[in-house]
Amino acid sequence: MKKSNRFLALLAALPVAAALYTAPAHAEGFGGLGGLGGDASSLLSGSGMSVPSVSSLAPSNVTGLLGYCVQNNYLQGNSPSTLLSSLKQKAGLDTSSSQYSNGQNGILDTGNGNTFSLASLKGNLKQKVTTKVCNAVLKQGKSLL
């Protein structure tokens, strides 16, 4: 490859490298996308990030995340709001826990101090990944009733 072609290739790679550099470090090292499906997997491939499965989240974190998704319009229709109300009224749900408040802030709390922040994602990646996660959270929330 000629020097000028290598230079152009390097220039073309800079935006990708910059996007990866700004990815949240705390999102690295999770074991896969679990119930989020192949589409979400391809969105993050090559980024060094993976989203933990929502099926392993505590019910209070799922409920808080559902609130985040509804409040920020990542889910459409009345069904998510109705489900959120039902989950909040469920006996034994602790809405004063840190897992619930993390969820309300868009943070998947996977335990042992590991988290994944939807709020810290940037640009087009944020919209796509958060929509996928919110749909998975909606499905997980339904299974909690």
Query: How far apart are the C-alpha atoms of 135 and 140, rounded to whole Å?
Result: 9
Indicate the helix (H) or strand (E) that contains 116.
Answer: strand 114-117
Judged on CB neighbours under 10 Å (0-12, 13-18, 19+), 27 is buried
Query: What are 134's two structure tokens?
Result: 């919110």
Domain parsing of the chain, residue ranges: 51-143
Tens-digit pLDDT profile for residues 79-137: 999 999 999 999 889 999 999 999 999 999 988 889 999 988 998 889 999 999 999 99
Amino acid at site 130: T
Q: pTM higher than 0.85, yes or no?
A: no
Q: What is the pLDDT of residues 47-60, one digit of tens each?
A: 556 777 899 999 99
